[in-house]
Amino acid sequence: MAFANEMLMYDDNFPEIWGNVTDWIEKFNNLLSPFANRPNTRVVILCQKHTYSISMMYAARDLNIPYIPIDINSPVNRISAIIEQIDPFIVLYQKSEIDVAQLPLDNINVIWENNVVSFATVQPQSNLAHHPDLSFVLFTSGSTGIPKGVMTSRNNANCFVDWMISEFGITKQSRILSIAPLHFDLSVFDVFAAEKLKAGLFVPLVSMIVNPMYLADFIFNFKIDTLYATPTWYNLLLQYGKLRRHDFSLVKTVLIAGEALKTQTVEELHKYFPNAQFANLYGPTETNVCTFYKIDFQKPIKEKNGVVCIGKPCPYAALNTDADNILQVSGKSVMLGYWPAVQNLEWYSTGDVVEMDADGDYYFMERADRMIKRNGYRIEPAEIETAILYHPEVGHVAVTAKGKEDKMEITAHYTLKGTLQGEDLARFCLLHLPSYMVPDKFRQHEKLPLTSSGKTDYNALMNS
Amino acid sequence: MTKQEILDYVMQYVKDNFSEQVKNPAPDTKLLTSKLLDSINTLHMVSHMEEKFKFEAEAHEVSPDNLDTPDLIAGYIHRKLVG
């Protein structure tokens, strides 16, 4: 059995179980084993990121049981929509964080629990079998208004993790920050690279994860040398982390992905992490990282309009562009498909319009559709619109977004069938959408502007 | 500076900066645990208060215990100022 023995995991949520991660992987392995080798055994993980949930991922992976980490900070409606799609057989949940009685889970049978997590079987609604190569499913915002599950195989994840280790010289001595939530694809690197190398994995306190001062202290105090996060996260660290209070000369690797990266962010970070190698990594959840640009501070940073180049393809990825310059990706990291159907995609179309320079380096220019990136999360405006339309007083709604300083500002434009106050709609959104999807502004209109072809005129709304 | 003067300033700050999120703020309006303010709004507010009142917040102090309502914020700043 491939247990992650000797792996060093420090979890600030449970500092008392330092070094006992192997015991927890074995515990979950024993709990899962009787249910392995069944075509519909899937584990939904309804927990924060900590020793227990990470150990469960390792155990499930070792037994070839797919796992599905769900953002438990999402509203119950959204979590329920994902659970209904996945139809799990096993659930690992955190009692203090979520009331499973509110979820569409039948015949919950708790097999084991401690004071943090509960391991339970539930009654599946169907005999829906998954693809035998499926390793995990990460749910992202869906353009139909319903979250969609990106199915990743073990081989998809391995080729990415192996390349990251080799390209950036990650070793057994590395001390990796584990900052990305489990439902976010950036976490594939820290969780699996650390386990593969038996390197150090350092998990911050969940309740302080949005506190840059705490994170700066955490990086310094635990001599963390490898960081992988979104530009938004690094910008918050720069703006509010009080980085001047520490010497970060031990940081060796600063990896950035998930959103367009501004040159200014890299230049500012380099002042505080002077000894680190920097790279801008690009790729949607469907392909994981498929291009990279290593920054050479001896030369000008390659950029267009202040946005850093996304570089050349990773060795496992082939790139192409269509007639509209939309980037297409092929290769070993491309997902199996969207849950539950395996699509055997030869080329995955990213929806990102790119340009390539004479050196063969790619630049992200814009989205070909309305998709928004905020805090590294992908947001389909249609999902916000669908949620708002559930409000009985709302007639029509259209969501627009524009970059404002370091924040993507989302505005919901709506018409009313009845009476409503702006704050009511904000509260309604908090009940139906993850907080990162909740619009910043709500603008009431008599009617929404239409184009000559009768469609909502989003450009007019952006400028209204 | 009295706690009441700080509270008046905090109330005005919330009205001026978060009118979109908080329609009629009161001293006991829950800003964080009600999710009216997101983490970035909260960090921005703390940073502004540090500059305005000349104190330095520590990592563990940026929490709902100190920042959930205008009244708690004013009490926190007052404690920082009087030591």
ipTM of the shown complex? 0.90
Q: How confident is the model at residue A421 (pLDDT cuts 50, 70, 90)?
A: low
Q: What is the pLDDT of residue A462?
A: 86
Q: Which of B15, B18, B31, B35 is the best residue to mutate to test the A interface, defined by the most A CB atoms within 10 Å of its own CB?
A: B35
Q: What is the pLDDT of residue A405?
A: 61
Q: How confident is the model at residue A422 (pLDDT cuts 50, 70, 90)?
A: low
The token duo for A107 is 């015949």
- The residue-averaged pLDDT of A144-170 equals 96
Orientation angle between helical segments B3-17 and B70-82, nearest 10 degrees? 130
Q: Is the pLDDT of residue A79 over 60?
A: yes
- The residue-averaged pLDDT of B63-75 equals 96
Q: How far apart are CA A354 and CA A324, in angstroms?
A: 9
Residue whose C-alpha is closest to residue A152's, from A134, A130, A128? A134
Q: Is the pLDDT of residue A227 over 60?
A: yes
Q: Is the pLDDT of residue A1 over 60?
A: no
The token duo for A57 is 């991922």
Q: How far apart are CA A287 and CA A336, in angstroms?
A: 10
Q: The tokens 């920042």 sit on which residue?
A: B67
Q: How far apart are CA A276 and CA A256, in angstroms?
A: 12
- The residue-averaged pLDDT of A6-10 equals 81
* Mean pLDDT rounded to a whole number for chain A: 93
Residue whose C-alpha is closest to residue A119's, from A196, A183, A34? A34
Of A439 and A455, the one with more pLDDT: A439
Contact present, A103 and A91 (Cβ < 8 Å)? no
Residues 13-72 of B with CB under 8 A from A: 20-23, 35-36, 38-40, 43, 46-47, 57-60, 62-63
Q: Which of A44-53, A287-296, B26-35 has the lowest mean pLDDT?
A: B26-35
Q: How many helices (H) and strands (E) does chain B have?
A: 4, 0
A212 at interface of B, judged by CB pairs closer than 8 A: yes
From the list A236, A430, A440, which residue is nearest B20 (CB)?
A440
Q: How far apart are CA A287 and CA A318, in angstroms?
A: 11
Collapsing DSSP states into helix, strand and coil, what is residue A259? Answer: coil
Q: What is the pLDDT of residue A3?
A: 40
Of A339 and A430, the one with more pLDDT: A339
- The residue-averaged pLDDT of A401-409 equals 78
From the list A217, A423, A435, which residue is nearest B38 (CB)?
A435
Q: How far apart are CA A352 and CA A371, in angstroms?
A: 10
Q: Nearest-CA residue of chain B relative to A434?
A: B35
Q: Is the pLDDT of residue A344 over 50?
A: yes
Strands (E), A144-286: 148-153, 175-177, 200-203, 226-229, 253-257, 277-282
pTM of the model: 0.91
Determine which helix (DSSP H) or strand (DSSP E) holds A60, and give its type and residue range: helix A51-62
Instruction: Put residue A19 in one of left, alpha, beta given phi > 0 → left and psi -120 to 50 → alpha.
Output: left
Q: Is the pLDDT of residue A6 over 90?
A: no
Q: How far apart are CA A130 and CA A377, in angstroms?
A: 26
> Which residues contact residue B42 at a Cβ distance below 8 angstroms, ignoring those fewer than 6 apart?
B31, B32, B62, B67
Q: Is the pLDDT of residue A392 over 60?
A: yes
From the list B23, B35, B43, which residue is nearest A240 (CB)?
B43
Q: Which of A347-351, A441-445, B25-29 has the lowest mean pLDDT?
A: A441-445
Residue whose C-alpha is closest to residue A402's, from A315, A327, A464? A464
Q: Which of A12, A179, A210 is the best residue to mutate to test the B interface, defined by the most B CB atoms within 10 Å of its own CB?
A: A210
Q: What is the pLDDT of residue A2?
A: 38
Q: Is the pLDDT of residue A431 over 90?
A: no
Q: Tell me the pLDDT tens digit for each residue of A112-129.
A: 999 999 999 999 999 899
- Residues of chain A found within 8 Å of residue B32, distances taken between Cβ atoms: none
Q: What is the pLDDT of residue A354?
A: 97
Q: Which string of b and e fits A331-366 if b means at least 16 CB within 10 Å? A: bbbbbbbbbbebeebeebbbbbbbeeeeeeebbbbe
CA neighbours closer than 13 Å in the CB half-sphere of residue A248: 28
What single-letter amino acid sits at A46? L
The token duo for A276 is 């680190």
Q: What is the pLDDT of residue A193?
A: 97
> H helices of A91-211, where?
154-167, 187-197
Q: Is the pLDDT of residue A414 over 60?
A: yes
The token duo for A222 is 């635990």
Contact present, B40 and A236 (Cβ < 8 Å)? yes
Q: Nearest-CA residue of chain A relative to B44?
A: A240
Q: What is the pLDDT of residue A316?
A: 98
Q: How far apart are CA A440 and CA A428, in angstroms?
A: 13
Q: Is the pLDDT of residue B29 over 50?
A: yes
Q: Is the pLDDT of residue A210 over 70?
A: yes
**CB burial of residue A245 (10 Å; 0-12, 13-18, 19+):** exposed
Does A211 contact B38 at a Cβ distance shorter than 8 Å? no
CA dihedral over A439, A391, A88, A105, signed as positive or negative: positive
Q: What is the pLDDT of residue A423?
A: 61
Contact present, A260 and A230 (Cβ < 8 Å)? no
> Which residues contact residue A321 at a Cβ distance below 8 angstroms, ignoring those fewer than 6 apart?
A327, A328, A354, A356
Q: What is the pLDDT of residue A145?
A: 81
> Which residues contact residue A339 at a Cβ distance below 8 angstroms, ignoring those fewer than 6 apart?
A85, A86, A137, A148, A149, A150, A151
